[in-house]
Amino acid sequence: MADKKKEEQQQGQQQGMNVNVNLDTTPIFYTDNVYISANPDGVVFDVMQRLGSTNQVRIVSRVGMSREHAKKFVIELSKLLEITEGQAKTNN
C-alpha cells in the first residue's frame, strides 16, 4: 500500500503539485455508465454502476465542475488516452 501511495504522490508531483491520497477512505469506484448534464453554470457527472443483470443503475459518485474546468478536463483526458493507447498497467 505504501508503494501505491508513493506512486500517487509522484503522479501529482509530475504536474507541479504534491497530492496526498488516503487509500483507506478514498476508494476507486468502477463505472459502466455515466450520465452527464450541463447548464450555463457548469457540468455534473453522475457516475453509475449497473445493478447485476437488471436495467437499473446506482449512482456511486457525483462530480460537478465549471464549464471552463470541464473543457480542460476533456483536453487532458484526451491527451492521456492518446499517450496510453495500447499500454497496459497493473498495480499488484
Q: Which tens digits make up the pLDDT trace of 76-90?
A: 999 999 999 888 665
pTM of the model: 0.68
State the DSSP string of 63-78.
EEEEHHHHHHHHHHHH
Domain residue ranges of the chain, discontinuous segments joined by +: 1-26, 31-84
Cell of 5: 501511495
Residue 63's CB: how many other CB atoms inside 10 A? Answer: 13
CA separation for the pair 20, 24 (Å, rounded): 12
Distance separating alpha carbons of residues 86 and 78, to the nearest angstrom? 14
Q: What is the pLDDT of residues 4-57, one digit of tens each?
A: 555 555 555 556 889 999 999 998 888 999 999 999 999 999 999 999 999 999
48-72 pLDDT per residue, tens: 999 999 999 999 999 999 999 999 9
Instruction: Give strand pairing partners of 49.
Output: 58
